[in-house]
Structure 1
């Protein structure tokens, strides 16, 4: 019914309030622990997020912003599309709910790929499922070599890389698994320099940047390492000013941006200048929200917070404009970009004056 090719996507770590409570407790921040217990009682939900890969999104006239979230029916998700001219979100389509939680999502070649997650509390999965959002069909792909959750995912030259994660034990991984969609097969690559999960990942100039996350002892880190797929090697990058986990990194205006992460320290966003090789703080328009997404959309960066609120951030001026909120007010969110030339929106959308 629909012919689409979803591309230029990268992952943002899926999380649950339960895991944040555990990490906060081990960090001895009891005031924050009480806050998260209250949030857990109110919501009873888990969350998963995706960040769009931004290297090719040069113009917002070429791409359309989409968002996915659950409906009132616990077995159904709704896909919404954003019209920047009308500042309006509209229903695009629906698909069947994903069974696992704390899964790691990634959109590639017209499919929503679900990596790992948990089938029950601390019961980890290595399964990989491809969902067709438009046809509401799913296909099981070859499983990963390890059962894990909260991994980092990126795509380089047609290969999908899965980094780190948390598994049985609980174990924290430094492993890197590469998936070949053409052969439906996996191979282990050179491991990262640091074990981590809940980290941020993005790709710039053919290299994969891995930042922050949680490592041994459930401590967050500010470290950055860079993977070169041509030589299958890792090198250390300049560390961020602040330890972060559950956050986003994007590349824009010849800089690397880090948004969100670390609720209790109230961290600001920061920017790395590739010319000066230095990080500097910037105004964080999303108030350091843990489940933040960042997507380069034209010349600006789209930031989401509180699950349904979106901001447009100008990296040149630091100006912020709030976009109209989605009606899917939920802790689960998934945002991605789609080339306008590959989809006819008119027959599918249903406008809502929210």
Structure 2
């Protein structure tokens, strides 16, 4: 019975204040007879999803006097709202949006090969309703600054966005913003210590790591860590060598970084395509060289599923100034420290966006040496070792150097924009 009830309350497509009002109406209809159920009923109200002003009003209402459980839940919610920076670390069943489902997000990126036309919007696609879903505009980029070469991370169902090439002057940014899909609100966080593009932003424990990349002069070997709760960046141990266009992921309690291009010279010198895989030990703040990939590559995609790491696409050489694409998908076993070839892409691409679920990896857009920019979305299922085109997910237009992730989004009180058509739910 409890399982059925839980499923029902998760599917409610109403604002949380309406849930609270319905609960109060039910309790007060027979206050004496229903008092014994008040704790269970009020526990089902997700007070943190309400605004601070709503919580203050409830705190002054008779409900907080008549039902002691309400006082405890209000205190929990008020503490959540007060701890602005620490909210991603304070997630519970009462902070999960109602009527929510998993969506793939596409944030920024370039739309034409020889220009800096970029997405100013963040697009989303409901992967739990693929056959009936479509790409929609979720929100605008913070400050409506078009950007590419940036990086994203997800912690506690908050989207973090950092760095990249953006603005009217096309400068490399050190700015960091956080998006809360519960409120559709961007929060500006502390700037990184260094401007970075083509870097990696990786959540690890209670922190987020910004790894490598390049600025206007140099490729970087620096790594910095954001203390999420304190909203402070600090430097960590450096990478073994400078690199950009690399990829990173957390797997089996370690942070792994592989590939990229490296040179101690300026950013115009593309340098060597790395086969290197390095592992970061958070407790010791140290890097360890692991077994290298079979193929050196940069601007590739990387995801972790079921304790294994998968690397797809990218480029590994220059021919007359053109980047040659890699078709191979390699798998890394973090237990044995061994690589193996598992699949070949029908059309090799670099600069793809990558989004990972517990069972599959999505490869979005990208650039092919022979076919140009792509609208294709590949869907790779590691357990079956199957790679297929997700035709229902085809992107609205070709894009490369985009950043992607998976976020849980609610349909409650959301304006859905389907490229020219706006629908209020």
TM-score where L is the length of structure 1: 0.70
1:336 maps onto 2:405 in alignment: yes
Counterparts of 2:253 and 2:334, CA distance in 1? 16
Tell me how far apart the structure 1 counterparts of residues 107 and 191 of structure 2 sit (CA, whole Å). 25
Q: Which moved more, 1:260-269 or 1:207-216?
A: 260-269
Question: Secondary structure in 2 aligned to 1:264?
Answer: strand
Q: Which has the higher helix share?
A: 2
Aligned to 2:387: 320
Offset at residue 98 of structure 1 (A): 2.7
Question: Would you say the 8 A contact 2:177–2:188 is kept in 1?
Answer: yes
Mapped contact 1:309–1:326 kept (Cα < 8 A): yes
Root-mean-square deviation (Å): 3.5
Match for residue 65 of structure 1? Answer: 103
Report the Cα distance in structure 2 between the residues aligned to 1:95 and 1:133, rounded to whole angstroms: 12
Matching of residues 120-269 of structure 1 within 5 Å: 123-132=171-180, 137-168=185-216, 170-216=217-263, 217-218=269-270, 219-262=272-315, 263-269=323-329
Deviates more, 1:307-316 or 1:181-190: 307-316
Higher deviation after alignment, 132-141 or 283-292: 132-141
Whether contact under 8 Å (1:176, 1:189) holds in the other structure is yes
What SS does the corresponding residue of 1:244 show, helix, strand or coil? Answer: coil
Please give the per-residue CA displacement for 1:288-316, whole angstroms capped at 9, x wherever unaligned: 21122343324333222345322222223
**Is the contact made by 1:259 and 1:294 (CA closer than 8 Å) also made in structure 2?**
no
Whole-Å Cα distance in 1 between the matches of residues 195 and 414 of structure 2?
A: 41
- Structure 1 match to 2:152: 105
2:67 matched residue in structure 1: none
Aligned match of 2:96: none
Give 2:356's aligned residue: 296
Distance 2:245 2:153 in 1: 15
Listed as ranges, the gaps of 5+ residues in structure 2 are 1-13, 17-45, 49-99, 112-116, 264-268, 316-322, 367-373, 420-425
Gaps of 5+ in 1: 6-61
Residue pair 1:90, 1:349 contacting (<8 A) in 2 also = no
Partner Cα distance (2:294, 2:343) in 1? 14
For 1:283, the equivalent position in structure 2 comes to 343
Mapped partners of 1:100, 1:347: distance in 2: 25
Change in Cα spacing, 1:133 to 1:236, as seen in structure 2 (3 Å) is same
Q: Is the 8 A contact 1:178 1:189 kept in 2?
A: yes
Q: Offset of 1:225 from its aligned partner?
A: 0.5
Residue 254 to residue 99, structure 1, CA distance change in 2 (3 Å): closer
Larger RCO (CA within 8 A; separation ≥ 6): 1
Give the structure 2 partner of residue 25 of structure 1: none
User: Between Structure 1 and Structure 2, which shows a larger proportion of strand residues?
Assistant: 1
2: distance between equivalents of 1:238 and 1:294? 23
Corresponding residue for 1:310? Answer: 377
Contact 1:112 1:132 in 2 (8 A): yes
Report the equivalent of 1:40. none
> CA 1:98 to 1:134, structure 2 compared with 1: closer, same or farther past 3 Å?
farther
Instruction: Look up the SS of the partner of 1:238 in the other structure.
Output: coil
1:344 CA drift (Å): 4.0
> Contact 1:128/1:142 (CA < 8 Å) preserved in 2?
yes
